[in-house]
Amino acid sequence: MSIQGASASLTTGAALEIASLKMAKNQQQQEGQASLKLLESAAAVSPAPVSANPSLGATVNTYA
């Protein structure tokens, strides 16, 4: 019975799991940075101009 073969397989599995976790962490960091950039760009957009007459456009004719 070869115990060393099973140990090597376990070590390889652990190494693959660690690599997978590192990739997932990197993905989360990139998504976080993209979200921050999106929020910053949305904050830079100027709001729509406000009309001097707030009742202008308040009523809509629904008959043709």
Q: pLDDT tens digit string along 5-62?
A: 556 676 888 889 999 999 999 999 999 999 999 999 888 777 777 777 777 777 777 8
Angle at 42 between CA 36 and CA 48, to 5 degrees: 170
| In contact, 19 and 25? CB cutoff 8 Å | no
pTM, whole model, 2 decimals? 0.54
Q: What are phi and psi of 28, to 5 degrees?
A: -65, -40
d(CA 44, CA 38): 10
Q: What's the CA gap between 52 and 33, in Å, rounded?
A: 39
Q: Which residues contact 51 (CB under 8 A, 6 or more apart)?
A: 57
